[in-house]
């Protein structure tokens, strides 16, 4: 499993601790310093079954500056959202868990973390 991790994020710390306690092996990706490409983020969105605005932190200063909360949320606007999130990875919700089974979860809740543990091949 790969975790898109921000070391300063409490939700990321909870995900790391939960997986470590369950003895689930994981790799960390410091996505703020190792941002995804457009292709990678697009694939992660596919794996999540989500649209970019579903996992965008629209309250972040960059998003506020860009006025992203008011951007259209339609097929034609999707590339604009993805490009902004790649250029400013702090806009990407965290932690994102890329599961070895090909799925992905946003690991912000205990339920999502429990599901990640259940879906892990150990």
Q: Give the H/E segment covering residue 29.
A: strand 27-30
Q: What percent of the chain has pLDDT over 70?
A: 98
Q: pLDDT per residue over 62-80, tens digit each?
A: 999 999 999 999 999 999 9
Give Cα separations from 94 to 75, 91, 99, 114 (angstroms): 23, 9, 15, 16
What is the pTM (predicted TM-score) of this model? Answer: 0.93
Give the Cβ contact number of residue 35 at 10 Å: 18
Mean pLDDT of the chain: 96
Q: Where along the chain do its domains lie?
A: 2-118
Q: pLDDT per residue over 6-61, tens digit each?
A: 999 999 999 999 999 999 999 999 999 999 999 999 999 999 999 999 999 999 99
May I ask the CATH class of domain 2-118? Answer: alpha beta
> What is the Cα–Cα distance from 103 to 15, expressed in whole angstroms?
16
Residue 122 banded pLDDT, cuts 50, 70, 90: low
pLDDT recorded at residue 121: 64
């Amino acid at each position: 499993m790969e975790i898109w991790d921000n070391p300063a994020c409490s939700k990321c710390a909870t995900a790391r601790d939960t997986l470590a306690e369950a003895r689930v092996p994981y790799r960390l990706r410091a996505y703020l310093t190792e941002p995804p490409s457009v292709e990678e983020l697009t694939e992660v969105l596919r794996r999540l079954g989500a649209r970019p605005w579903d996992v965008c932190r629209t309250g972040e200063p960059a998003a506020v500056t860009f006025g992203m909360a008011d951007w259209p949320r339609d097929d034609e606007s999707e590339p604009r959202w993805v490009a902004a999130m790649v250029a400013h990875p702090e806009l990407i919700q965290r932690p994102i868990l890329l599961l070895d089974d090909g799925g992905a979860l946003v690991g912000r809740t205990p339920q999502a973390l429990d599901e990640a543990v259940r879906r892990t091949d150990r």
